[in-house]
Structure 1
Amino acid sequence: MNEMARSTEPLPPAAVLQVARRVRRNRRLVAAAVTAAAVVLVTTGVAVLTPGDKKDALPPAATGDAMQALHDSVAGLADGDYTFSRTGADMVADIRRAAVHLPDSVLVEHTDTYMLLRTGSGYYLRYLIYGNPEQREAFRTYFRQHGSGPELQAAEKIFDQLDGTRWVRADEKKVTAAAADESLSHLDVMATLPTTSQPDATGAVALVGAVTTAQRSGDVITGTLDGTRKDPIIEQLFSDPTYLYGVGARTLPFRATLDDQGRLTEFTVTMPEQRMASQPADPIEPEAPLTIRISDYGRTAVQPPPAQTDGELPADAYEMLANDND
């Protein structure tokens, strides 16, 4: 089945998992006659920023009450008990809802057909292979036409398991490896699940670490952050902002809202409209803001295993997953 999967004729990739920002960026690169390299999801986490952490110390120009309050607002994420959503990230799919309760469970819902769940010792995947029903059926037809015997039976089972409606038990390390494979996969944009040592799955800690100026009015803090900071999470959230925004990438406007206990409930980064003067002056659709919303600190429930699963994902499925956007 592996040889048959590799020989499948490429089909147009589906615009799935709400990665419109990545698609728009690729179109710009083509219009500017720039060769786009395939992007591999970085699965490195980020340590929680604390006021006494010297390696992530805030720059001298960004001190004061507003900065300290912003700094303190993300401390609650270290407990690993919160719910959040995220939209507008560049290289990571939108997260409709994520429920984090470490170390017991993490549930991430990208879409109705793409969810990840780690609970107890189990890891589960709900996934529509090849991105949409039309492509999935086209590839399934190909397998039926060119496969036979046990090989075809194994492929049929994988297609049944990865139909976007069924939970299947999977190997987290193999799923992560499939996402990081040099081949193209819709898994490339999946969220990195947090751990007790790296409890922030939102990206807010990295964003706060990139803030350069801050002013406070009541429970709202505004200012600017440096989108070019060398940080794996920042790079996922913005992906080459200098190309798109020029010098404006170093002063991206943000707005943070705190609750009555000083905890971060929303963080929004507005993307500038201008680009570098050396780039084509073609009309550009304004980018949607990056928005993170956090709630239910200390009240997020432990997620149980799925009530029903369709068995264990077989070994051959991981190679199919690594190539399902080719």
Structure 2
Amino acid sequence: MNIRRWSFGFLAATLLVPGLAACSSDAAEPAAAPSSSAPAVPADPKEALLASTKEMAKGDFTFTVTGADMTGGGLVHKPSNSAQLTMKLGDASEDVSMEMDLIYIDSESWVKMDLGGAVAAMIPGGTKNKGKYQHLDKTKIKDLKDLQLDPETLDPVDSETLVKGVTDVQKTGEGTYSGKIDISASTDSVALDEDVVKALGAQAKALPFTAKLDPQGRLTELVIPVPAAGEAAAHEIKIAYTGYGAGTGAKKPPADKIVEAPAETYELFK
């Protein structure tokens, strides 16, 4: 298996830079009263899908994602200015495995990394502080140009961009849709492996997909079967969302599980 280029950088780009903090003043504002009636779901299938990701801009949801050799999930909670992302690449039976858990609360971040196989040998101190959450001092991260989170795009999976790639869609039932999707322009999504997208070539422009929306028209599931390409076997990309508007925020790691990040961790940002 390949070590994805975004394995650690994505986690950092998602949560280390205070994109949520740009909106932190919102936390002091009272929450808007819920609408007495759900918004109408657009009758046009494509418009319904495009509208289905708008709720994510409010920054209060949980998600899961699976892809080629990867599983992950987490939460975004703008009201408490917090987020969490977990990710697992490979497993103990493979040459390379990586498990990460990154927590962001206001201006503080902690990362837990459990590295195995070749990746542990490649990274100095790769097995240091196994099972511990490393507290990160962002003043020690000098080059932030590649670690930017757009505060207008609070969804780590970037389903909004994925859905914009829909080229053909039909409504197949109550809240269910299917069609074709172009993923060639969505390689920043954690759900996609850029090398696989490149290997797919023209196929990447017309993959099948299915989607589900809840009664309020919010995206709850997006599934994209991906054929074998390059070194990757055929697999399924599956993204799911729950808990819209019902989050309680990320929790700080237990004190006995926290250590200060060593120099080796900061080297990963260079």
What is the TM-score when the length of structure 1 is the normalising length?
A: 0.58
Q: Does 1:293 align with 2:240?
A: yes
Is the CA contact 2:53–2:159 (under 8 Å) kept in the aligned structure 1? yes
- Distance apart, 1:266 and its partner CA: 0.5
Structure 1 residues 201, 242: CA separation in 2 closer, same or farther (over 3 Å shift)?
closer
In structure 2, distance between residues paired with 1:266 and 1:257:
5
Structure 1 residues 85, 175: CA separation in 2 closer, same or farther (over 3 Å shift)?
farther
**Out of 219, 225, 228, which is 1:270 matched to?**
225
Tell me the residue number matched to 1:105. Answer: 82
Output the aligned Cα RMSD.
4.0
In structure 2, distance between residues paired with 1:175 and 1:243:
31
Is the CA contact 1:219–1:258 (under 8 Å) kept in the aligned structure 2? yes
Structure 1 residues 72, 224: CA separation in 2 closer, same or farther (over 3 Å shift)?
same
Tell me the residue number matched to 1:125. Answer: 111
Q: Which moved more, 1:261-270 or 1:112-121?
A: 112-121
In structure 2, distance between residues paired with 1:241 and 1:134:
21
Please state whether the residue corresponding to 2:61 is helix, strand or coil: strand
- Distance apart, 1:133 and its partner CA: 7.5
- Distance apart, 1:134 and its partner CA: 9.0
Tell me the residue number matched to 1:86. Answer: 65
Partner deviation per Cα, 1:69-103 (whole Å, 9 max, x = no partner): 1011111111110000111158xx531x2011015
**Out of 258, 264, 267, which is 1:310 matched to?**
258
Structure 2 residue identity aligned to 1:221: Y
In structure 2, distance between residues paired with 1:74 and 1:212:
17
In structure 1, distance between residues paired with 2:85 and 2:196:
26
**Out of 103, 123, 134, which is 1:168 matched to?**
134
Is the CA contact 1:213–1:224 (under 8 Å) kept in the aligned structure 2? yes
* Structure 2: runs of 5+ lacking an equivalent: 16-41, 89-97
In structure 1, distance between residues paired with 2:247 and 2:148:
16
Tell me the residue number matched to 2:50. Answer: 71
Q: Map of 1:71-220 to 2, 5 A cutoff?
A: 71-88=50-67, 93-95=70-72, 97-102=73-78, 104-111=81-88, 113-128=99-114, 131-132=115-116, 160=128, 162-163=129-130, 165-172=131-138, 196-217=151-172, 218-220=174-176
Which is higher, the Rg of structure 1 or of structure 2? 1
Please state whether the residue corresponding to 2:238 is helix, strand or coil: strand
Structure 1 residues 270, 78: CA separation in 2 closer, same or farther (over 3 Å shift)?
same
Is the CA contact 1:269–1:289 (under 8 Å) kept in the aligned structure 2? yes
In structure 2, distance between residues paired with 1:237 and 1:200:
14
Is the CA contact 2:227–2:235 (under 8 Å) kept in the aligned structure 1? no
Once superposed, which parts of structure 1, at least 4 consecutive aligned residues long, lie more than 6 Å away? none
In structure 1, distance between residues paired with 2:141 and 2:182:
32
Is the CA contact 1:194–1:201 (under 8 Å) kept in the aligned structure 2? no
Structure 2 residue identity aligned to 1:75: K
Structure 2 residue identity aligned to 1:310: I
Structure 1 residues 259, 242: CA separation in 2 closer, same or farther (over 3 Å shift)?
closer
What is the TM-score when the length of structure 2 is the normalising length?
A: 0.69
Is the CA contact 1:102–1:196 (under 8 Å) kept in the aligned structure 2? no
Please state whether the residue corresponding to 2:84 is helix, strand or coil: strand
Structure 1 residues 88, 170: CA separation in 2 closer, same or farther (over 3 Å shift)?
same
Q: Does 1:223 align with 2:207?
A: no
- Distance apart, 1:290 and its partner CA: 0.9
Please state whether the residue corresponding to 1:270 is helix, strand or coil: strand
Which protein is richer in strand relative to its size?
A: 2
* Structure 1: runs of 5+ lacking an equivalent: 1-19, 27-37, 46-62, 144-154, 181-191
Which protein is richer in helix relative to its size?
A: 1
